[in-house]
Each structure stands twice: as structure tokens, then as C-alpha cells.
Amino acid sequence: MADVFYVGVDLGGTNIKAGVLDANARVLCSLSVPTEVPKGRETVVANIIGAAEQAIAKSGVARTKVAGIGIGSPGPLSHRRGMVINPGNLPCLKDTPLRDLVTQRTGIKATLENDANAAAWGEFWAGAGKGVRDLVMFTLGTGVGGGVVTDGRMLRGHFENGAELGHILVQPGGRRCSCNQLGCVEAYS
């Protein structure tokens, strides 16, 4: 499978990072472009697709060798449906079928995962968590996220948002968070 490559896209509130890697997790290239949230949904989706396309071009890998595009997005989202539901730091993407839009516009199969879950899985697969069966990871960026791998499986929970660690309530009635709750970890970080 050395001839198989993947595009990874990390969707952030400020920047979109994209890269191409091989089946052994070797990064061939990476880049960053502005997210441009104030310009709205179409601009953000176009920037995601543009970042993926630029990464493929920069890597020198033939498009026919790219097996998929993995998109890590702030939640909440539905991995099963490929839908961004209501991300506090990306309000323009509320109820966006991001997986399908990227697949349709690039012609490459895409998958959507919570960005912190994707980061946790990356560490589990090829990073600091390689060789363990369980791990918990916090991510810090525009917001606070978390991913949990338990017994070698990603914890998603019944409603697919089981590891939204930045939205654990730590101060009932406290500061308003981007998710509209009062007193989340993220509101104090």
C-alpha cells in the first residue's frame, strides 16, 4: 500500500491546515490558508477544497493515488452523516453537509471527523500514543477540544459527541461559552 496517499485537512476557526501523507503516516507536504469565517459558508468550503487541492499539487502525488480526504472539524458534528451541526467558532458552517460537498467538488472520497478526535486518532495511530489501547487528548486552539480512544476504538458516544471535553461544565452559571452554555472549560481557557 506504499502507493496510497491521503489528504488530511484540519479546519480551524482561524486557519485551515492541509497535508498529504502516505500509508505509513509519513508527511509529504503541508500548508496553511486562512479560514475566512466572516466571508461565510461558501468561502470557507471553497478554502477547505482549495487547501486540499493545493496540498495534492504541492506533494507531486498523482490524484489517482489519493485514496481519500480526511477533514477534522470542530464539533458538534455527525461523523456518520458527514454533517457539521453547530460549531461555536464556525457559525457559518451550521448544518453543512461538509463531507459530501468536499467529495462532490474534488471527486475524491472524503470523511468528516471531530478535529480533536482526528488528532487523538493520529497520536494513537502514529504518534505519542502508538502502542497503547487507551488515551485521552486535549486540543487547544481557537477552542478547546478532546478525543478519547478506549480499547483501540474512538469514543463517539450515542449522539456522536461523547468527547467534547472543552464543553465539560466546570462553573455552573459561569461565563458564557461559544456553545451558549454557561461555565464550560472552554469559556475559562
CATH number of the domain at 150, please: 3.30.420.40
In a domain, 124, yes or no: no
Tens of pLDDT, residue by residue over 35-78, are 999 999 999 999 999 999 999 999 999 999 999 999 999 888 99
Across 130-154, average pLDDT: 92
Across 83-111, average pLDDT: 96
pLDDT of residue 142: 74
Among residues 66, 92, 116, the one where a domain terminates is: 116
Same domain? For 36 and 13 the reply is: yes
Among residues 68, 93, 116, the one where a domain terminates is: 116
Task: With CA atoms as reference, report the closest residue to 76 among 175, 131, 146, 172.
Answer: 146
pLDDT of residue 2: 61
Same domain? For 47 and 97 the reply is: yes
Same domain? For 21 and 91 the reply is: yes
Task: With CA atoms as reference, report the closest residue to 102 among 68, 153, 61.
Answer: 68
Same domain? For 110 and 20 the reply is: yes
In a domain, 121, yes or no: no
pLDDT of residue 101: 98
Same domain? For 108 and 153 the reply is: no
Across 157-163, average pLDDT: 86
Q: What percent of the chain has pLDDT over 70?
A: 99
pTM tops 0.85: yes
Same domain? For 111 and 147 the reply is: no
- Check pLDDT > 70 for residue 25: yes
pLDDT band at 21 (very low <50, low <70, confident <90, very high): very high
What 3-state class would DSSP assign to 100?
Answer: helix
pLDDT of residue 58: 98
Tell me the C-alpha distance between 6 and 25, whole Å. 9
Same domain? For 53 and 105 the reply is: yes
pLDDT of residue 75: 85
- Answer whether 140's CB lies under 8 Å from 99's CB: no
- Contacts for 53 with CB less than 8 Å, ≥ 6 apart: 106
Among residues 56, 88, 116, the one where a domain terminates is: 116
Same domain? For 20 and 110 the reply is: yes
Top-confidence residue, 112 or 164: 112
- Check pLDDT > 70 for residue 121: yes
In a domain, 126, yes or no: no
Same domain? For 92 and 145 the reply is: no
Cell numbers found for residue 79: 461523523
Same domain? For 138 and 109 the reply is: no
Residue 139: give the domain boundaries: 131-188
In a domain, 123, yes or no: no
In a domain, 98, yes or no: yes
- Check pLDDT > 70 for residue 164: yes
Domain count, the chain: 2
Across 79-100, average pLDDT: 95
Q: Residues 80, 75, 114, 96: is their CA dihedral positive or negative?
A: positive
Across 152-156, average pLDDT: 95
Same domain? For 17 and 96 the reply is: yes
